[in-house]
Structure 1
Amino acid sequence: MAAKNSGTIPVKNIYFQRILDEIDVGIHAIDQNGKTIIYNRKMSEIEGMHIGDVLNKNLLDVFSFNQNEDSTLLDVLQKGHAIKNVKQTYFNIRGKEITTINNTFPIIEEGKIIGAIEIARDITKLEKLIRENMNKKGNTRYTFDSIIGKSKQIQEVIEASKRVTRTSSSVLIVGETGTGKELFAQSIHNGSNRSGKPFISQNCAALPDSLIEGLLFGTKKGAFTGAIERPGLFEQAEGGTLLLDELNSLNPALQAKLLRVLQEKTVRRIGDTKDREIDVRIIATINEDPFEAIAQGRIRKDLYYRLSVVSLFIPPLRERKEDIPELVQYFIDKYNQLFGMNVKGIDDEVLNIFHHYDWPGNIRELEHIIEGAMNLIDQEDLISYIHLPIHFRNKTQLKKEADIFSQSNHLISQKGKNIKPLDQYLKEVETYYLTKIMKHYQFNITKAAEALGMSRQNLQYRLKKYNINKK
């Protein structure tokens, strides 16, 4: 046995760590203070975190939870009873959404709760499939009248798209995530003579290759174990339009089969020897520069030229910011109707923030911001800065807080000395902001937590951590 303090890992610990790293479920344990003491390799993969970024850190410093939703680990630690088969959605420190099914148990020694352990199964991808893999047959809601914006950039694309409705040529729609590519695809379908036939949308990134092939081309009974006689999406969209979303996620082998279908206008089910004629218009979308995708091998060059008979480039929101006020009002009206509210608009401060923000998530991000704000608004007529979701405020407030600290000599002295370490600066920013919010809500934990988009548990921890209290 190794001598004490030799640096050698004890044999029992080696076996224990090997078992933890080899089992195919996530294991996460915390001590009585909420600090992580066990975190295995599978949990690291599920949550997209390095083990060193989680071990010996307080849980709430690394992960965040939706408002009114607590951590199952901390809930068990506080209440002392097990929680089994509970679904939980939360976010890592980088904003990645994680969904797991958890079994969580208290660790009790001599009648005292000394920690909690969680066994987690990852269902993040399954949740994504449920949300995204929704085939739309004859359920196209959007027309060209649904597209909002008077800017020159968006109007040019609308006019080009309207001309495309006269033919059945393939269309390639290029645009960043959240720019509204499917809205244009549905509008083209509804404006064409195929509008009375099916419109089917398939996200090519939503399923693994083994499933997407059968889904697209269909299967013959007995082609493989469990295979049934089933038409694929090409056959189901007969006479109508098939939208292949995120085409650049398909592997090259499937792209070659897709090219054959486009050229021959026939499809062969997996395991079959019979070719079936099809009459389907193909609209494909990609979320990156097509020539870069070709250079990087994500799209076959021959498939690109076959699909891009017509190419439409949807501008990102940062290139059409003059459309923001109209888009904002549209989303406010939409959620007024859904929520039974009567919000009039946004104040000048919020509009200024929106105009100076780059909108990496484009129109989809703008809609989510408005929806989130309207969940936090009380009786006010206008959405103000305090109503914006916390993650968005975090992105936009650093400059504002930096200006405050600069003016009060908290950040840098007049001679440019005494620059503070980043951790200290961020602590001061968070302390300042939390103090400001708590005073605004007169130290009402429930209302402040709701406004900040965090659980009461999370807020109470941070108030205690930074010694913020009502004086």
Structure 2
Amino acid sequence: MLENYIDQIITMGTLADSVTIIDDQQIIRHFQPFNPDIVPFTASDVVGTHFRSTFLDVDPADSGVLRALHGESTISRAYTHLLFNGQRSSGIESIFPIRMGDSIIGSISVSRFLSSPNRFLDVKDDPSVSPDLAEIPDMIGNSPAMQTLKRQILRVARTDANVLICGETGTGKELVAHAVHTASPRCKRLFYPQNCAAIPSSLLESTFFGSEKGAYTGSVHSKGILEQADGGTVFLDEINSLDPAVQGKILRALETKKLRRLGGTREIQSDFRIVSAMNEDPFACMRSGKIRNDLFFRLSTVILEVPPLRQRRDDIPLLAEYFLKKFCPQGPGKTLSQDTAALLSGYHWPGNVRELKNAIEYACIFAESSEITPKDLPSYITRTAPADSAGCTAGPAPSSASLKTLMEQYEANLLSRRMAACGNRSRLARELGITRQTLLNKLSKYGLL
């Protein structure tokens, strides 16, 4: 039921009082108050000023906003600041670093002031929502493979069994994890998704288990993921990228449902459920040592396999229609020409549903008429000719194609296949001998992001 009102609920003005962004020189570059009657200053007062000239009593060693410039993030941190205008401001903030490639270029703080009145979110009933809504409405597809997966999700969701989701990049593993949580008795508690490959190695343990003040330079009392998710579900994507030492500590927490913060002395009870995922063969990961055998068998009470898009071609028209409505919501709806529909159904989709989503969004942006034709699709789809598992091809390159076109065709095909096999962009960039930013530029050029 709640999913039907998400668009009404997720508005920053109901969830926060202000957003502050600083750059890597500690200069305030953006300030947006959502509740001006509560916020004691305006954007014109502080934008362009140094952070510490606005918040006068900030301790650089204890400031979450400044520590975020070194890669740390904080969720639900209480603060009290002396402001430049003599007033004091107290509240709770969530702080995250802002990255560009491998560099941190700033940090963002989302704040809720303690002087804010109590609020509630009022959503209006939508009479178009049917009481017979499918139990997993966000999972688009009626193919036999998807019907089987949906039945498995509903069955395992009623239990507390740990679930391992396997599938290629872009198949929707996080969507499956969220469906398991939503259909479970834990649905009213926190669902915490975390890509394990995105956590800096120096922050792995504190991210999962939290920390006590003084555990390391700049550390504060903070709850880790496993403690925050008490009663709820943790989704750990790319779990095979975790350091083996941290894997061992997660294994112990799984077995005992107890954890100890970094620098702490007492054990904390936490009733969390772990749903994990990987885009590699799990048994190959065990053989190569990427994942501990004992942790794998603890996590994989149930293994759910998400089929690649090329194995559920009957779902491509449904998915395309869904994305058309999502990306072309205004004005007369766009449709696919017969040739475009045939091209989409025959393409091998190495990037799976995510690649199809990107292709439809691209077409919605550039199509000049209400009918989307092949020329409106990303060029790599129409000019590459990779053989798919069903033996379909997009056709050979024209004999008159230039060397530049042929090289781009080869590069697009190579990148799409390597991304499908590897999944981790940083690792793929290293394997190809290029920088991560160069790889991102090429993926963007060919519509593979």
TM-score range, shorter chain: 0.5 to 0.7
Give secondary structure in 2 for the equivalent of 1:146. coil
Shift of residue 272 of structure 1?
A: 1.2
Cα distance 1:143–1:237, how it changes in 2: closer, same or farther (>3 A)? farther
Given residue 382 of structure 2, which amino acid in structure 1 is its aligned partner?
A: R
Q: Which residue of 2 aligns with 1:277?
A: 269
Shift of residue 295 of structure 1?
A: 1.2
Distance 2:395 2:317 in 1: 26
Cα distance 1:397–1:175, how it changes in 2: closer, same or farther (>3 A)? closer
Q: Which residue of 2 aligns with 1:158?
A: 150
Instruction: Decide whether the 8 Å contact of 1:234 with 1:280 is kept in 2.
Output: yes
Q: Which residue of 2 aligns with 1:110?
A: none
Q: Which residue of 1 aligns with 2:201?
A: 209
Question: 343, 357, 376: which is aligned to 1:353?
Answer: 343
Distance 2:395 2:408 in 1: 10
Given residue 347 of structure 1, which amino acid in structure 2 is its aligned partner?
A: S
1:372 is the counterpart of 2:349: no
Q: Which residue of 2 aligns with 1:123?
A: 100
Question: 363, 375, 396: which is aligned to 2:353?
Answer: 363
Q: Over residues 255-282 of structure 1, what are the superposed CA-to-partner deviations in whole Å (9 max), with x where a residue is unaligned?
A: 1111011011101111112111110111
Give secondary structure in 2 for the equivalent of 1:272. coil
Given residue 357 of structure 1, which amino acid in structure 2 is its aligned partner?
A: Y
**Gapped runs of 5+ residues in structure 1?**
1-121, 132-141, 412-421, 430-453, 459-471
Shift of residue 287 of structure 1?
A: 0.8
Give secondary structure in 1 for the equivalent of 2:198. coil
Instruction: Decide whether the 8 Å contact of 2:384 with 2:397 is kept in 1.
Output: no
Shift of residue 381 of structure 1?
A: 1.9
Distance 1:315 1:264 in 2: 34
Distance 2:244 2:331 in 1: 49
Q: Which residue of 1 aligns with 2:177?
A: 185
**Gapped runs of 5+ residues in structure 2?**
1-98, 109-133, 388-392, 410-440
Instruction: Decide whether the 8 Å contact of 2:171 with 2:309 is kept in 1.
Output: yes
Question: 139, 156, 159: which is aligned to 1:167?
Answer: 159
Question: 358, 374, 397: which is aligned to 1:385?
Answer: 374
Shift of residue 349 of structure 1?
A: 1.7
Question: 229, 239, 255: which is aligned to 2:221?
Answer: 229
Question: 283, 308, 313: which is aligned to 1:316?
Answer: 308
1:325 is the counterpart of 2:314: no
Shift of residue 159 of structure 1?
A: 0.2
Give secondary structure in 2 for the equivalent of 1:221. coil
Shift of residue 190 of structure 1?
A: 1.1
Give secondary structure in 2 for the equivalent of 1:244. strand
Cα distance 1:308–1:394, how it changes in 2: closer, same or farther (>3 A)? same
Instruction: Decide whether the 8 Å contact of 2:383 with 2:397 is kept in 1.
Output: no
Distance 1:146 1:314 in 2: 15
Shift of residue 401 of structure 1?
A: 7.8
Give secondary structure in 2 for the equivalent of 1:219. coil
Given residue 344 of structure 2, which amino acid in structure 1 is its aligned partner?
A: F
Distance 2:178 2:319 in 1: 19
Given residue 249 of structure 1, which amino acid in structure 2 is its aligned partner?
A: S
1:343 is the counterpart of 2:320: no
Cα distance 1:310–1:401, how it changes in 2: closer, same or farther (>3 A)? closer
Bigger fraction of residues in helix? 1
Q: Which residue of 1 aligns with 2:139?
A: 147
Instruction: Decide whether the 8 Å contact of 1:242 with 1:283 is kept in 2.
Output: yes
Shift of residue 177 of structure 1?
A: 1.0
Distance 2:324 2:260 in 1: 47
Instruction: Decide whether the 8 Å contact of 1:161 with 1:184 is kept in 2.
Output: yes
Given residue 216 of structure 1, which amino acid in structure 2 is its aligned partner?
A: F
Q: Over residues 441-471 of structure 1, what are the superposed CA-to-partner deviations in whole Å (9 max), with x where a residue is unaligned?
A: xxxxxxxxxxxxx9xxx9xxxxxxxxxxxxx
Identity of aligned residues (%): 40
Cα distance 1:351–1:212, how it changes in 2: closer, same or farther (>3 A)? same
Shift of residue 185 of structure 1?
A: 1.0
Question: 278, 281, 294: which is aligned to 1:289?
Answer: 281
Cα distance 1:348–1:126, how it changes in 2: closer, same or farther (>3 A)? farther
Output the TM-score relative to the length of structure 1: 0.56
Question: 256, 259, 270: which is aligned to 2:251?
Answer: 259
Instruction: Decide whether the 8 Å contact of 1:144 with 1:184 is kept in 2.
Output: no
Cα distance 1:427–1:147, how it changes in 2: closer, same or farther (>3 A)? closer
Given residue 375 of structure 1, which amino acid in structure 2 is its aligned partner?
A: I
Q: Over residues 117-164 of structure 1, what are the superposed CA-to-partner deviations in whole Å (9 max), with x where a residue is unaligned?
A: xxxxx9314589999xxxxxxxxxx96111111111111011011001
Cα distance 1:428–1:198, how it changes in 2: closer, same or farther (>3 A)? closer
Q: Over residues 335-363 of structure 1, what are the superposed CA-to-partner deviations in whole Å (9 max), with x where a residue is unaligned?
A: 122xx243332112222222222111100
Q: Over residues 369-409 of structure 1, what are the superposed CA-to-partner deviations in whole Å (9 max), with x where a residue is unaligned?
A: 0000110012x22211111123433435998784643xxxx
Distance 2:383 2:146 in 1: 30
User: How many aligned positions are there?
Assistant: 284
Shift of residue 245 of structure 1?
A: 1.1
Distance 2:145 2:105 in 1: 32
RMSD of aligned C-alpha atoms? 3.2
Q: Over residues 7-58 of structure 1, what are the superposed CA-to-partner deviations in whole Å (9 max), with x where a residue is unaligned?
A: xxxxxxxxxxxxxxxxxxxxxxxxxxxxxxxxxxxxxxxxxxxxxxxxxxxx
Shift of residue 216 of structure 1?
A: 0.9
Q: Over residues 79-106 of structure 1, what are the superposed CA-to-partner deviations in whole Å (9 max), with x where a residue is unaligned?
A: xxxxxxxxxxxxxxxxxxxxxxxxxxxx
